[in-house]
């Protein structure tokens, strides 16, 4: 009889522990979905011989990548609010700043400056309603220097768009 009760008790305990409330499984599924979404938003640029990763901002569509062989740039576009170009070029912030100062057509103002990033605002003196924000960022990976910049094709980006684009490219983390 005691053996019978212990078997029933053990079976009851196993039954209750196996049922659970489903919260643990739901949490695991949500974590897996978040990891999957994060991985889907990351693009390895090694296919283009660039030791870099592109991490798309949340809510952006899947990017279109186009290698422009004639000028040695990788163009990345995703919707209307994301367009960058990546090229292997030594960092030359002083040249960029000098070019901005010499610009006779537009008035350029530096908005943010760090050793790796320059964000600036360009506007025409006779039409202050038309304002462009641009950035150039320099990334070093595997002893090589890369310039990441917004596409200067006349698309008007907000300062928030520029900041999102400027932070989208990273060095690859070692495996």
> What are 78-135's pLDDT values in tens digits?
999 999 999 999 999 999 999 999 999 999 999 999 999 999 999 998 887 889 999 9
Tens of pLDDT, residues 164-174: 999 999 998 76
Q: Is 84 exposed, middle or buried (0-12, 13-18, 19+ CB in 10 A)?
A: buried
pLDDT at residue number 36: 44
Which of 35-44, 70-79, 81-90 has the lowest average pLDDT? 35-44
Which domains does the chain show, CATH number per domain?
Answer: 2-32 (no CATH), 41-171 (3.40.1000)
The rounded radius of gyration (Å) of the Cα atoms in the chain is 26
139 alpha carbon, distance to own chain's centre: 13
Q: CA separation (Å) from 1 to 7, 11, 61?
A: 10, 15, 66
pLDDT at residue number 121: 96
Confidence of residue 38 (pLDDT cuts 50, 70, 90): very low
Structure tokens, 55: 């991490």
Check whether 66 has a pLDDT greater than 50.
yes
- Dihedrals φ, ψ of 76, to 5°? -125, 125
Q: What is the pTM of this model?
A: 0.74
Exposure string for 95-111, b = 16+ CB within 10 A, e = fewer: ebeeebeeeeeeebeee
Mean pLDDT across the stretch 13-36? Answer: 53
Mean pLDDT score across all residues of the chain? 84
């Amino acid at each position: 009889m005691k053996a019978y009760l212990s078997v029933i008790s053990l079976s009851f305990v196993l039954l209750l522990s196996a049922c659970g409330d489903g919260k643990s499984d739901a949490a695991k599924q949500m974590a897996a979905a978040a990891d999957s979404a994060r991985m889907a938003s990351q693009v390895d640029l090694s296919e283009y011989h660039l030791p870099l990763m592109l991490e798309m901002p949340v809510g952006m569509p899947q990017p279109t990548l186009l290698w422009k062989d004639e000028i040695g740039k990788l163009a990345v576009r995703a919707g209307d609010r994301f367009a960058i170009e990546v090229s292997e070029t030594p960092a030359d912030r002083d040249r960029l700043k000098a070019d901005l100062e010499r610009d006779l057509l537009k008035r350029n103002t530096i908005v943010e400056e760090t050793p790796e990033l320059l964000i600036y605002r360009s506007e025409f003196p006779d039409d202050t309603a038309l304002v462009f924000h641009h950035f150039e960022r320099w990334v070093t990976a595997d002893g090589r220097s890369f310039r990441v910049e917004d596409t200067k094709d006349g698309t008007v980006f907000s300062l928030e768009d520029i900041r999102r684009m400027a932070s989208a490219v990273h060095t690859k983390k070692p495996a």
